[in-house]
Amino acid sequence: MNARDDACAREQTMLLTGNHAVAWAARLARPQVVPVYPITPQTPVLEQLTEFQAAGQFDAEVITPESEHSVMAACIPASLAGVRVFTATASQGLLLMHELLHYASGARAPIVMANVNRTLASPWAFWPDQTDSLAQRDTGWIQFYSETAQESLDTVLHAFRIAERVLLPAMVNHDAFYVSHALEPVRVPDPSLVDAFLPPYAPEHRLDTAKVESWGNVVTQDMFCRHRQALGEAMDRVPDAALDADRAWRELTGRGYGLVEDYRCDGARMVIVTMGSMCGTAREAVDALRDAGEAVGLLKVRLFRPLPVTLLRDALAGVPDVLVLDRDYSPGHGGILHQELRAALYGLSAAPRIHGYLAGVGGVNVSPEKIVEFVHRAQAGDARPESVWVR
Partner 1 sequence: MLQIIIQGRGGQGAQTAGNLLAMAFFAEGRQVQSFASYGGARRGTPVSSYIRVADRPIRVRCDIERADAILCFDASLLAGPLLATAGPETLIVVNSARTPAQFAADLPGRRVIPVDGLSISRRHGLGRIVNSALLGGFARAIAAPQLPVLTRVLGDEAPKLHDENIAACEEGYRSVEQQLGVMAA
Interface residues with partner 1 (CB under 8 A) are 15, 17, 40, 124, 126, 147, 175, 177-179, 181-185, 277-278, 280-281, 283-284, 365-368
Q: With CA atoms as reference, report the closest residue to 74 among 23, 31, 22, 21.
A: 31
Q: By the 8 A CB rule, do 194 and 28 touch?
A: yes
Q: Which is nearer to partner 1, 18 or 308 (CB)?
A: 18
- Rounded least distance, CB 49 to partner 1, Å: 20
Q: Which residues contact 333 (CB under 8 A, 6 or more apart)?
A: 339
Q: Which is nearer to partner 1, 273 or 344 (CB)?
A: 273
- Rounded least distance, CB 359 to partner 1, Å: 11
- HSE of 7, CA atoms in CB hemisphere, 13 A: 17
| DSSP per position, 271-324 | EEEE-TTHHHHHHHHHHHHHHTT--EEEEEE-EEES--HHHHHHHHTT-SEEEE
- Rounded least distance, CB 301 to partner 1, Å: 16
| DSSP per position, 328-373 | --BTTTB-HHHHHHHHHHTT-TTPPEEEEEE-SGGG----HHHHHH
Q: Which is nearer to partner 1, 186 or 193 (CB)?
A: 186
- Rounded least distance, CB 123 to partner 1, Å: 12
Q: Which is nearer to partner 1, 185 or 320 (CB)?
A: 185
Q: Which residues contact 102 (CB under 8 A, 6 or more apart)?
A: 139, 140
- Rounded least distance, CB 72 to partner 1, Å: 25
Q: Which is nearer to partner 1, 178 or 329 (CB)?
A: 178
- Rounded least distance, CB 278 to partner 1, Å: 7
Q: Which is nearer to partner 1, 46 or 234 (CB)?
A: 46
What is the C-alpha to C-alpha distance for residues 201 and 6, in angstroms, rounded to an integer? 25
